[in-house]
């Protein structure tokens, strides 16, 4: 993937969104589970330390396929809005959303 070509980057993330980020980025589901659960737990802990509580409405910028929001943030916070520029990832995120207050939209944050 080209670090400077935004179209190559977009194609990479669109493919990851179609295939599922776990399948696309990790060779082992066990490795993915270990790495992501650890990072996700740290991120939620930081949120609590910054003053978020279970009634918080959080924003997930660069949400990808929504795995973090759907599988972790939804367990800890009242509402989540996710934003990503990969349409395939956002489609997957919305399809797997556990409830109506966990939602995702396509947007290019650089624009």
Residue 80: predicted pLDDT = 98
Confidence tier at 89 by pLDDT (50, 70, 90): very high
Confidence tier at 7 by pLDDT (50, 70, 90): low
Q: What residues form DSSP beta bridges with 106?
A: 84
C-alpha pair distances (Å), 41 with each of 10, 27, 68, 74, 103: 28, 22, 10, 13, 21
Average pLDDT score, the chain: 89
pLDDT digits (tens, 9 = 90+) for 95-105: 999 999 999 99
| Contact (Cβ atoms closer than 8 angstroms) between residue 56 and residue 78 | yes
Q: What gap in Å lies between CA 36 and CA 100, rounded to an integer? A: 24
Sheet of 102-106, strands arranged across: 57-61, 79-84, 102-106
Residue 2: predicted pLDDT = 55
C-alpha pair distances (Å), 32 with each of 12, 27, 83: 18, 8, 22
pLDDT digits (tens, 9 = 90+) for 29-74: 777 777 888 999 999 999 999 999 999 999 999 999 999 999 999 9
């Amino acid at each position: 993937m080209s670090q400077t070509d935004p179209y190559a980057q977009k194609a990479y993330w669109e493919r990851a969104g179609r295939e599922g980020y776990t399948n696309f980025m990790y060779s082992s589901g066990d490795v993915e589970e270990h790495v992501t659960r650890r990072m996700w737990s740290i991120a939620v802990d930081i949120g609590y330390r910054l003053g978020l509580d279970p009634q918080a409405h959080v924003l997930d910028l660069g949400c990808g396929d929504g795995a973090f929001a759907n599988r972790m943030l939804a367990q800890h916070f009242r509402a989540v809005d996710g934003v990503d520029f990969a349409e395939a990832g956002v489609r997957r995120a919305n399809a797997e959303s556990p409830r109506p207050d966990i939602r995702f939209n396509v947007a290019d944050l650089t624009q």
